[in-house]
Chains A and B, each alone.
Chain A
Amino acid sequence: GENVEQHPSTLSVQEGDSAVIKCTYSDSASNYFPWYKQELGKGPQLIIDIRSNVGEKKDQRIAVTLNKTAKHFSLHITETQPEDSAVYFCAASDNQGGKLIFGQGTELSVKP
């Protein structure tokens, strides 16, 4: 089955700097890669996603890149703000069964 590895587990940046979180997946059949932001005590919130027919997608300060050959995908947050502090999860799915397999999560801390 699919296995998703996420790094780093914790990330601390200064406000205004960029943050990058990386994930790898094992199943070449996976074709959908969402990213979620989870604040303490709340459910995960979808922030951006990418499909395997696209190499990069951007939404304001957030961007995701996908390298299908290497089975890597990354989340990039530019001009970080304290409110970006949260736990971020990557996930992968083959979209057939609808099951998402999640990475281990990255706790991002943006210091003012």
Chain B
Amino acid sequence: GAVVSQHPSWVICKSGTSVKIECRSLDFQATTMFWYRQFPKKSLMLMATSNEGSKATYEQGVEKDKFLINHASLTLSTLTVTSAHPEDSSFYICSKRTNEKLFFGSGTQLSVL
């Protein structure tokens, strides 16, 4: 069964608004979770590593002020796309490690009008 629950599965928003995506660990506590971004017909790009109780580690080129990550509890990490613009439209996927294997959520399709 699924070990990661991600919500919402899709969201449409107006340009300038903020959108929050939730990623919840369903089995064990997840001190570390990962956020990926995927463009149509493209590979997965790691955006940031979310660490419980501390600041996220962002990959080079990812704007930390644009993509706010909060990992306040051992089972929940959130990604907030702030002041979204059409170029932020993409498929966002979270993941976590369980027994050294990486499992992904179902993804969130964000469309910014």
Contact = CB atoms under 8 A, between A and B. Distances in A.
Interface of A: 32, 34, 36, 41-46, 49, 89, 93, 95, 97-105, 107
A35 B44 CA distance: 13
A44 to B, nearest CB: 5
A89 B43 contact: yes
B49 interface: yes
A105 B104 contact: no
B47 to A, nearest CB: 11
B6 interface: yes
A46 B106 contact: no
B49 A98 contact: yes
A50 B107 CA distance: 25
Contacts of B19: none
Interface of B: 4, 6, 32, 34, 41-44, 46, 49, 93, 95, 97, 100-107, 109
B102 A103 contact: no
A6 to B, nearest CB: 8
A46 B49 contact: no
A12 to B, nearest CB: 16
A105 B49 CA distance: 22
Nearest to A36: B104
A80 B69 CA distance: 40
Given A43-B6, A98-B34, A98-B97, A34 B43 contact: no
B32 A42 contact: no
A46 B102 contact: yes
Contacts of B4: 43
Nearest to A4: B43
A34 B103 CA distance: 11
| Shortest 7 CB-CB contacts between residues of A and residues of B | A43-B104, A43-B107, A43-B106, A102-B43, A102-B44, A44-B104, A43-B93
A46 B103 contact: yes
Contacts of A100: 34, 46, 102
Contacts of B102: 34, 46, 93, 98, 100
B21 to A, nearest CB: 12
